[in-house]
C-alpha cells in the first residue's frame, strides 16, 4: 500500500527536505583532493544533529554510518572510510535524514578537480535524466512511463542505467512502496502500473554507468560497484506529488 501524506505530514517533509539539501550543499563544498572520506561522515553527523534531525542510514540493515560515500566505479552505499579523494575522482554522496518522524533522501555526484570529458558527460546526463523526470511527476501519470523516460534518455546518450537497484516511496519509513525502476521491460519487478496521486512522496534516483550496468558488492561489504570497473553516477531527490504537478523537496 502506498501511503498518502496529510497536509501536516507534508509540511514536516518540506522542512526536512530543506534541511537535507542544505546539509548536502555544505558537504559538497568540502570535497577536494586530499580529503579523507570519513571526514565527510563526521561533518554530516554534526550537521544532522545541528538541525535537530537524526541519520536515516545509520544502523539501517547494519550500515554503520550516516553518509554513503561512493567513488568512481562505486554506484551506491560506499562506506565513508580511510580512502583519500584524488584529483579527477567522481564522488557520489547519498544522505537521508529523519526529521520529526519523516525521512527525506537525496544523492549528488561531484567531480573533483580536472575530470575527463566522459566523466563530465556522465554527470550531465544523469542529472538531466532526473530533471526530465521531475517534470513528468503529476497526478494521473504512470510510474512506468517515468522509468522508460529515464532509460531512453540515458541510453540515447550511450550510457546504461543500473537495473539491480531502484528508487522508492518515502515517509515514515525510509523505503516505502512503490518501487521506482530506472528501466522497463525486464524481469526485475517494480510498480510500473502505479498511477501517481496527490500526496505521494517518492524518491527518483537514476544510477548510470558508462558501460555495462551489472553490479557486484564492494570490498567493504556494503557498497555496490560496476562489475567491469566503469564509471558510475548517482542523483536522487525526494519529491511530493501535488495537486497540479510536483515539488522537489531536496533541491539544492
DSSP assignment of 119-149 = HHHHHHHHHHHHHHHHTT-STT-BHHHHHHH
The answer to the question of residue 160 being in a domain is: yes
Amino acid 186: pLDDT: 61
pLDDT for position 189: 60
The span from the CA of 84 to the CA of 21, in Å, is: 24
pLDDT, tens only, 35-78: 999 999 999 999 999 999 999 999 999 999 999 999 999 999 99
Question: For position 104, what pLDDT does the model report?
Answer: 98
* pLDDT for 89: 98
pLDDT given for residue 187 in this prediction: 60
Q: CA gyration radius for the chain? A: 17
| 113 found inside a domain | yes
- Residue/partner pairs of 179-186 with CB below 8 Å, 24 or more apart: 180/143, 180/146, 180/147, 180/204, 180/205, 181/147, 182/147, 182/150, 182/151, 182/154, 182/206, 182/207, 183/147, 183/148, 183/150, 183/151, 184/144, 184/147, 184/148, 184/151
pTM of the model: 0.96
Q: Which residue reads 575527463 in cell numbers?
A: 116
d(CA 32, CA 3) in angstroms, rounded, equals 40
In a domain, 2, yes or no: no
Here the CATH number for the domain that contains residue 67 is 3.90.230.10
Domain limits at 124? 7-248
Q: Identify whether 78 is part of a domain.
A: yes
The pLDDT, as a whole number, for residue 185 is 74
Burial track 211-220 (b if 16+ CB lie within 10 A, e otherwise): eebebeebee
The count of residues in the chain is 252
- The low-confidence residues of the chain, meaning pLDDT below 50, are none
For residue 177, is it within any domain?
A: yes
Identify whether 1 is part of a domain. no
In a domain, 48, yes or no: yes
Total domains in the chain come to 1
Q: What is the pLDDT of residue 171?
A: 98
Amino acid at each position: 500500500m502506498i501511503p498518502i501524506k496529510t497536509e501536516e505530514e507534508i509540511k514536516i517533509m518540506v522542512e526536512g527536505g530543506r534541511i537535507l539539501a542544505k546539509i548536502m550543499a555544505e558537504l559538497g563544498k568540502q570535497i577536494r583532493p586530499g580529503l579523507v572520506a570519513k571526514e565527510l561522515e563526521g561533518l554530516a553527523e554534526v550537521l544532522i544533529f545541528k538541525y535537530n534531525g537524526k541519520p536515516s542510514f545509520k544502523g539501517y540493515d547494519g550500515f554503520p554510518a550516516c553518509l554513503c560515500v561512493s567513488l568512481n566505479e562505486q554506484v551506491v552505499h560506499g562506506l565513508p572510510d580511510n580512502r583519500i579523494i584524488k584529483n579527477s575522482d567522481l564522488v557520489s554522496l547519498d544522505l537521508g535524514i529523519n526529521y520529526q518522524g519523516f525521512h527525506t533522501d537525496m544523492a549528488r555526484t561531484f567531480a573533483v578537480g580536472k575530470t575527463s570529458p566522459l566523466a563530465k558527460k556522465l554527470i550531465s546526463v544523469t542529472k538531466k535524466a532526473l530533471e526530465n523526470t521531475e517534470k513528468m511527476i503529476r497526478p494521473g501519470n504512470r510510474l512506468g512511463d517515468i522509468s522508460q523516460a529515464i532509460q531512453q534518455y540515458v541510453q540515447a546518450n550511450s550510457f546504461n542505467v543500473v537495473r539491480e537497484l531502484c528508487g522508492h516511496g518515502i515517509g515514515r519509513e525510509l523505503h516505502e512502496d512503490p518501487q521506482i525502476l530506472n528501466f522497463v521491460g525486464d524481469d526485475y519487478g517494480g510498480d510500473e502500473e502505479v498511477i501517481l496521486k496527490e500526496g505521494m512522496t517518492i524518491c527518483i534516483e537514476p544510477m548510470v554507468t558508462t558501460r555495462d550496468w551489472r553490479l557486484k558488492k564492494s570490498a567493504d561489504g556494503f557498497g555496490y560497484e560496476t562489475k567491469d570497473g566503469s564509471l558510475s553516477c548517482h542523483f536522487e531527490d525526494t519529491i511530493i506529488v501535488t495537486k497540479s504537478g510536483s515539488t522537489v523537496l531536496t533541491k539544492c
